[in-house]
Amino acid sequence: MKSEKDKMLAGELYAAEGPELAADNRRISDWMDRYNATHARTQPEREALLREAFAHVGAGANIRPPFYCDYGYNISLGAAVFLNFNCVILDVVQVTIGDRSQIGPGVQILTADHPRDAALRAQMLEFGRPVTIGANVWIGGGAIILPGVTIGDNSIIGAGSVVTRDVPAGAVAVGNPARIRP
């Protein structure tokens, strides 16, 4: 029988409870307390802390605190990735951010999703859909990236945009919902 964590990582319906997920939540909460207290520390010290929690951290990756995530172990950052202040990544499944991507303050990257069926939602079940952000992407402040979205290399997402669908490489997407600008 699969644990709730196994189901979560497989992108299946799961209940966000159980001993494994509770332990993971305590671990990442303690880590966020330490990381978010690093305002005066150097970038290499922050990078070392990121390596403690994330699946992969490329050279020169930098997240300015405060930063919040669900688990950390589903996040992969490419080289020289930059996230500005107050970003949130709900990483119940894989979040991949490519090399040299720059993410503005207050951006939310969400993989957690909920059943459309009310009876399933009433059972407090959820699931995850991975988010992939290519290389050299710029995401403006306050943008929201919804579950299951892929953003292609060299794209730009306008500030405050809500990205509900995939964005092809080299595109500029703006608005709510975000639409590709000609």
Catalytic residues: 114
**Tokens standing for 149?**
């979205």
**Tokens standing for 64?**
């300015």
**Tokens standing for 146?**
């919804």
Beta bridge partners of 112: 128
DSSP one-letter string for 115-171: -SSHHHHHTTEEEE--EEE-TT-EE-TT-EE-TT-EE-TT-EE-TT-EE-S-B-TT-
- Give the separation between CA 60 and CA 47, rounded to whole angstroms: 7
Write the CA distances from 128 to 5, 63, 94, 131, integer angstroms: 12, 23, 9, 9
